[in-house]
A and B are shown apart, each in its own frame.
Chain A
């Protein structure tokens, strides 16, 4: 379970998160929507400790992410992350991209890591690309590679930071399908997304962020059909 309490985050003098309270239960799929600059991506970075926070707390399975004594590298193994810009490692093959972290972070043997990598690449439909370098993959394939790489650490949670925003329109579908597959398998997911169809169809809850505040959270039917906040309604009217 992820418990966020009174989270405040500043970049210099600019406050990007203004006191967020949010619980995400195991097995839940939460979509986070909102305009650019609303703080939704920053929220993800605060959850896995890639950004320090100024106030409040983030507790993952009972461990305070931002506490001094926390072994953040160990905790991050529970929190897989997929980025907008894919971030495949260009100097490694698809297989090596996925096998590296299990090997050096978890201490798996070469053979074990290879097995894991092959399994996860099959999982995302890239089993014919094992020895291909990322430069020879399409954006959609690279993003699926990034998903496989995160899954190889056997995380409890998956954080998606606008996983489809940088993709050509015709490649969005394959990545969303992979994310749907994970949701069906029961993965706990927090998806920062601009894909309203995905948010509506796949998530258990949808949160709307506006200027650093979580304006509204609820089941998709409520957010998309019957939003109480004027900001939410306006945003949704504009993206449709």
Chain B
């Protein structure tokens, strides 16, 4: 078993576990962006959002909602980001689906990604492309 998150779920690799239930495990990221940075994973191995069944995704997001306020309070933060990188092109390093919860403080220096603009007509074309793909 090469997946480090599966190893954590199985108890073969240590982790600071925050919450565990039948389908989900939450634990501290050992390389935190900010202290209290937590990870929430399905216990079963799914690489990407495309792979996880909807009932298990619901279970994962329920734990995100449950631990978010606790992570914020513990980190004495004023907010937090929830993020998931889907696929290596999106910066997903561990190929086991996971949500990050990152505590945030005003002025902590964490930079936003820059915003851009569409060319004329671009928004309409883009909306049509996504709607068509939704089927």
Whether chain B is bound by chain A comes out as: no
